């Protein structure tokens, strides 16, 4: 599979993987911050952004997609950064291909089993009939009606709506991500990581998030023994909530 990607800067490779319902577009400013010393690759994972849509969505498949991406771009000795779903993809990849990595940065994601809590969001997006939507503001209004979520969540989802050209030349709004397949395989997103790696790893987590708790650290260390833990006073979207602190912390670890 050929994943969609964008690249910035020169130097040793640094690859960034977004989270569920995200895309590489969410990481533009961070990529530019890291491009002063690295050749940064922003990657759309399968069923997201402008990468191919497939009939399934598993971490095993996403790790294999990433391995193919490394091969296609002749990457080695790379820094790999993954947020949320991208973090689990990165952990899975490191368990199989640690020889290709210099360092690993996992952003607000652990190795334990997580209860899936995206059901309401998925049902709301499926209830939104994009064929009848005439403007983004109308889509925003309906999502507010369907979802009891913060404004930032609504705006994050709206970034995935685009104009899709039809065969007759007309355009309809559509989701960038493969909503039906993500819905079918959503339980996969909560599965644990069972294999580890001795690659030098940073687990960077938000103190207002529940993905990495103090009690989780022994299990993480049993799989990834060369781990450093760092936290920021943020929630799950730490790279957006404290971008300056995020860049500083990652650069100190990487450089």
Query: Which positions are annotated as active-site residues?
Result: 84, 180, 236
* Cβ 20 vs Cβ 85: under 8 Å: yes
Sign, CA dihedral 139-141-142-147, equals positive
C-alpha–C-alpha distance, residues 116 and 188, integer Å = 9
- Among candidates 156, 184, 153, 160, which has minimal Cα distance to 174? 160
* Cβ 72 vs Cβ 51: under 8 Å: no
- Among candidates 79, 69, 77, which has minimal Cα distance to 34? 79
DSSP letter (8 states) at residue 215: G
Backbone angles phi, psi at 55, to 5 degrees: -85, -5
* Cβ 109 vs Cβ 83: under 8 Å: yes
Q: Is 171 exposed, middle or buried (0-12, 13-18, 19+ CB in 10 A)?
A: exposed
């Amino acid at each position: 599979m050929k994943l969609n990607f964008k690249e910035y800067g020169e130097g040793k490779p640094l690859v960034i993987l977004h989270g569920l319902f995200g895309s590489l577009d969410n990481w533009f400013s961070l990529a530019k911050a890291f491009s002063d010393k690295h050749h940064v690759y922003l990657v759309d994972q399968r069923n997201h952004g402008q990468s191919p849509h497939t009939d399934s969505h598993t971490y095993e498949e996403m790790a294999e997609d990433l391995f193919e991406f490394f091969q296609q771009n002749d990457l080695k000795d790379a820094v790999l950064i993954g947020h949320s779903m991208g973090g689990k993809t990165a952990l899975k990849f490191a368990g199989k291909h640690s020889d290709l990595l210099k360092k690993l940065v996992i952003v607000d994601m652990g190795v334990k089993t997580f209860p899936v809590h995206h059901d309401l969001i998925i049902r709301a997006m499926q209830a939104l009939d994009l064929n009848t939507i005439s403007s983004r503001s109308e889509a925003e209004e309906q999502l507010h009606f369907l979802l009891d979520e913060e404004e930032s969540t609504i705006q994050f989802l709206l970034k995935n709506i685009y104009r899709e050209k039809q065969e007759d030349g007309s355009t309809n709004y559509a989701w960038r991500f493969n909503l039906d397949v993500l819905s079918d395989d959503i339980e996969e997103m909560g599965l644990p990581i069972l294999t580890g790696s001795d690659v030098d790893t940073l687990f960077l987590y938000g103190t207002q998030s529940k993905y990495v708790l103090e009690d989780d650290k022994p299990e993480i260390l049993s799989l990834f023994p060369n781990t450093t833990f760092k936290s920021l006073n943020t929630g799950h979207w730490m790279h957006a909530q404290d971008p300056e602190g995020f860049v500083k912390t990652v650069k100190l670890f990487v450089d």
